[in-house]
Amino acid sequence: MRHSLAILTALLPCVPALAQNPTIDLNLWTVEDLNGAGPWTIDPLTLYAQTSNTVNTDCSVLYSDFDVVVLDFRMTVDPSGGDDDLIGFVLGWQPGDSSNTTADYILVDWKKITQTYQDWGTSQAGLALSRVTGPFTRGYGGGPIDLWSHTLNCTELLRSPTYGAIGWNFATDYFFRVIYTPGSVDIWLDGQHEFSLQGTFTPGRFGCYNFSQSRTEFQFPVPGAFTNYGTGCPASAGTPYLFGPVAPNVGENVPIIVANLPTNALPFIALGLSNQHWFGTPLPLDLTTFGAPGCTLLTSSDVLLPATNYNGTAYTTFQLPPGIPPSSTPLFYVQGLVLDPLANTLGLALSNAASVAVGIR
């Protein structure tokens, strides 16, 4: 059974703003143009960034406000951007490194096709890791020759064993994990360990990198979590048990299951924005005095979602609205309610509850 969350969406403005992942606030990131003025569009709410070149020779970095150590992100290229040039990222970047004589950072870039261009030399197709030391030399249109052809102050160190000679594809999600320390660089792509390098590396920022490739996109994920807490109370067929089989993510369906139900019971899912109070009543609330001994209300019941009982197991699903902000802290709470006249005087049994932190990927 699928439900919209219009009621939850309406309630969200009443809730204090929830913090984003504390290590990433794109409002604090900075664009540094290496050549031209290719603009970056960011959406801090969804931790998303995209670059749109104004001319073919634009080259820029959108760098973080923190020194990178461990970072996960998704990179893709929108087909509407066309072209076949360089996408990637930098590690150990310092503000001004486009011209700093002391610049010393790692460049990971990926060319779609092998191409020789003007006086820039040849850029080889594939995914590579290079070290840049010092400023670059400008060629045709002001473009950085070093970064295009991995020459002069840009020294190529490694090629990906999987994609070293294979270009990127449009509309394809590439998931990276980076670990960058003073003594090592390790990079995974789609779970495959592609780069492992030992040495001495300068601490510095992470930067989204683009060289002449419009519509390069970066998405920084926030992991969703469905975390159980509390205990249920007996119905006539056992103690109901609530769980979520998948991590909840913005814009996706969230399935909720409640097991151990009487086959003829009528189940609901209580969805609330608080596990501390409900209309001024403190939570958790013991329902013994209401005729349900051992039963505890663990979440505010701001919305009741009907669930379908499949021979003793209840199931429902609803879609998280695209406008919900991702957060590593709980956004709302859920608990199973079962109408069961044989359970107790109140005719109601409750499951355990769960906090729901909404992620994005």
Contacts of 343 (CB under 8 A, 6+ apart): 233, 234, 235, 236, 292, 349
Domain ranges of the chain: 2-15+224-357, 26-219
- Between 1-15, 74-88, 195-209, the lowest mean confidence (pLDDT) is in 1-15
Q: What are phi and psi of 345, to 5 degrees?
A: -65, -40
Residue 140 has pLDDT above 80, yes or no: yes
Its sign, for the CA torsion 237, 238, 242, 244, is negative
Contacts of 155 (CB under 8 A, 6+ apart): 130, 131, 132, 133
Q: What is the pLDDT of the chain when averaged over all its residues?
A: 91
Q: Which residues pair with 88 in a beta bridge?
A: 109, 209
Contact 227, 354 (CB under 8 A): yes
Look up the pTM and report it. Answer: 0.75
Q: Which CATH architecture has domain 26-219?
A: Sandwich (2.60)
pLDDT band, very low/low/confident/very high, at 169 (cuts 50, 70, 90) = very high
Per-residue pLDDT at 2: 43
Of all residues in the chain, what percent carry a pLDDT higher than 90?
81
Q: Which residues pair with 354 in a beta bridge?
A: 228, 334
Per-residue pLDDT at 52: 87
Residue 15 vs residue 83, higher pLDDT: 83
Residue 14 has pLDDT above 50, yes or no: no
Task: Indicate the DSSP class of residue 256.
Answer: E
Per-residue pLDDT at 7: 45
Per-residue pLDDT at 322: 74
Two tokens, residue 301: 């019941």
Contact 26, 49 (CB under 8 A): yes
Q: Which helix (H) or strand (E) holds 258?
A: strand 253-259
Which residue pairs from 179-186 have beta carbons closer than 8 angstroms and sit at least 24 positions apart in sequence? 179/69, 179/70, 180/68, 180/69, 180/70, 180/71, 180/91, 180/92, 180/106, 180/206, 181/69, 185/91, 185/106, 185/129
pLDDT band, very low/low/confident/very high, at 361 (cuts 50, 70, 90) = confident
pLDDT band, very low/low/confident/very high, at 223 (cuts 50, 70, 90) = confident
CA-closest candidate to residue 352, choices 180, 228, 199, 207: 228
Q: Which CATH architecture has domain 2-15+224-357?
A: Single Sheet (2.20)
Q: Cα dist. 330→153, 180, 354 in Å? A: 47, 30, 9
